[in-house]
Amino acid sequence: MNAAFPLTPGSAAQAFLARAHGLFIGGRWVAPLAGKRFDVFDPGTGQKIATAAAGESADIDAAVAAARAAFTGPWAKFTAAERGKVLWKIADLVEQHAQELTELEILDNGQPLAVAQYVVRHVVPDFFRYYAGWPTKIEGATIPTAPQGRRPGEVLSFTLREPIGVVGAITPWNAPLPMLMVKLAPALATGCTLVLKPAELTPLTALRMAELCAEAGAPEGVVNVVTGFGETAGAALSAHPGVDKIAFTGSTEVGRLIVKAAVGNLKKVSLELGGKSPVIVFADAVLEQVIPGAARACFFLQGQNCMAGTRLYVHEKIHDQVVNGVAAIARTMQLGHGLDPASQFGPLISAEQRERVRGYVEAGKREGGELVCGGGAPSRAGYFFEPTVFARMRADMTPVKSEIFGPVLCVQSFGDADLDRVAAEANSTIYGLSGSVWTRDIGLAMQMVRKIDSGQVSVNIHAALDPAMPFGGNKQSGWGREFGKEGLEPYLKTKGVSVAW
Ligand code: NAI
Ligand code: MG
């Protein structure tokens, strides 16, 4: 346990950590069939804080069977309004247990207190409440058809929107609770059941959420959680013939493996994958907004964020001011353990991730980038890495092309070139997730919005997420959309019905 910021003895989070965590299958805690376990570490100290069950393919079989039984059984009997009540109650319970979930999320993932508090008190409850309103509004349509020579009035055609079935949800470690929420809420709203496989680096809050879903009234088997590794539990889930759909968030590399594994029963797949999002700053932008905005775009969640604005394109007229301003923020950000209220910047998720990030920084230096600030790991416990800014970067440099998933900002400048050239630079990666344009000129902004090939583009704000706003990737950033009304679609299937008389 972290010595500098111990959890209060007797606190709910401490009691949770001390439990012998099992798998949550069919509404109860069960031991993993092969009996294997793995250690869970606090990235802020590098110390072990818990162990979790390493579920494997036999455990996935059990969880899928429980999810199937619930799907065709008790859950199918819930009215739309009753499903909405369960979702609303989950939001209430998250708020009631906010302190515990906040502490567990910090210990599991490392994020600063202010971030975790905002997530647990606002992001997660708002999201469940948004989807709590949807079950009663999922509607089909009546269609004017004339099959086989029928005349109007002789046939009635309509569509039914039905839940897709048993969903396998595989989530990453960078924002454990929000990633889970994004799958859970639309799946429950549409009447699906789930087997969740959280990231092995951050299994804790998913286990607690499974209990809260049950307490909120989800019948046994509706929400199952199998902790374990990607290569075993994750692979078994994505290949399982009893799973109707996989909802995945994670690396593009694993996204490809999921697609291959899904081929067996041609299960439906939605993917939210990597990003390398551009932040484009024109000469007339408001510097007092751009500088903190660009710093936040890149350094939020220590850059371990699929939407991170890691490629900063600045008009040459204001280039030096912006670079100096962002670097000043990076240099003064208070690094520290997430439970320390003074911390503004937490650790990376693991020692391995820190070495990956360090490798990209070394490549940037080797390839001729100008290191403005950061670039190293402070000597302290935990997996910290300094917020890093590189200037004078070029499109062909390794850190500009790759999703680093760490706090490394690459700055390039542009002159009064035509917009198509700026947009071509912005679009020059395999990704297309997010992006932002900073200018006071609304006409210029709207032209750029059209030209950027990303699932999300915002103006004078980066990563403007909201439960109601569709979010997802173009190109190799993914398949499908999450959030909003569109976020229901991957969990629904349409049945065309025609009745003749
Ligand atoms: P990952 O993609 O391996 O992990 C994400 C999830 O996929 C985890 O739950 C993991 O257990 C599961 N998984 C891994 N292999 C699997 C397989 N063969 N079949 C089914 N599930 C599998 O991400 P990782 O290795 O932890 O991070 C490596 C890099 O991936 C990061 O540096 C970052 O660039 C990227 N990444 C991107 C994320 C995003 O949201 N865009 C999230 C996490 C990682
Ligand atoms: Mg991996």
Look at domain 278-469 and name its CATH class.
alpha beta
Q: Is 234 in the pocket of ligand 1 (CB under 6 A)?
A: yes
Look at domain 12-273+478-497 and name its CATH class.
alpha beta
Q: Measured in angstroms, how far is the CA atom of residue 124 from the centroid of ligand 1? A: 22
pLDDT, residue 4, reads 54
> Is residue 291 within 8 Å of residue 329, measured between CB atoms?
yes
Q: Measured in angstroms, how far is the CA atom of residue 177 from the centroid of ligand 2? A: 19
Handedness of CA 223, 23, 106, 480 (dihedral sign): negative
pLDDT in tens, 350-361: 999 999 999 999
Q: Among the bound ligands, name the one nearest to the CA of residue 257.
A: 1
Which residue type is seen at 440? R
| pTM, 2 dp | 0.97
| Residue 105 annotated to the active site | no
Q: Measured in angstroms, how far is the CA atom of residue 172 from the centroid of ligand 2? A: 9
Q: Among the bound ligands, name the one nearest to the CA of residue 200.
A: 1
Domain ranges within the chain, ordered by starting residue: 12-273+478-497, 278-469
Pocket test for ligand 1, best of 56, 170, 177, 357 (most atoms within 8 A of CB): 170
pLDDT in tens, 122-162: 999 999 999 999 999 999 999 999 999 999 999 999 999 99
The full length of the chain comes to 501
Q: Is 403 in the pocket of ligand 1 (CB under 6 A)?
A: yes
DSSP assignment letter at 489: G
Handedness of CA 435, 438, 444, 445 (dihedral sign): positive
pLDDT tens string, the chain, 501 residues long: the values are 444 567 878 899 999 999 999 999 999 999 999 999 999 999 999 999 999 999 999 999 999 999 999 999 999 999 999 999 999 999 999 999 999 999 999 999 999 999 999 999 999 999 999 999 999 999 999 999 999 999 999 999 999 999 999 999 999 999 999 999 999 999 999 999 999 999 999 999 999 999 999 999 999 999 999 999 999 999 999 999 999 999 999 999 999 999 999 999 999 999 999 999 999 999 999 999 999 999 999 999 999 999 999 999 999 999 999 999 999 999 999 999 999 999 999 999 999 999 999 999 999 999 999 999 999 999 999 999 999 999 999 999 999 999 999 999 999 999 997 899 999 999 999 999 999 999 999 999 999 999 999 999 999 999 999 999 999 999 999 999 999 999 999 999 999 999 999
Catalytic option among 200, 220, 272, 489: 272
Handedness of CA 343, 349, 355, 360 (dihedral sign): negative
| Residue 298 annotated to the active site | no
Q: Among the bound ligands, name the one nearest to the CA of residue 274.
A: 1
Q: Is 273 in the pocket of ligand 1 (CB under 6 A)?
A: yes
Task: Determine the atom of ligand 1 nearest the C-alpha atom of 228.
Answer: 11
Q: Which of 151, 149, 206 is nearest to 23 (CA)?
A: 206
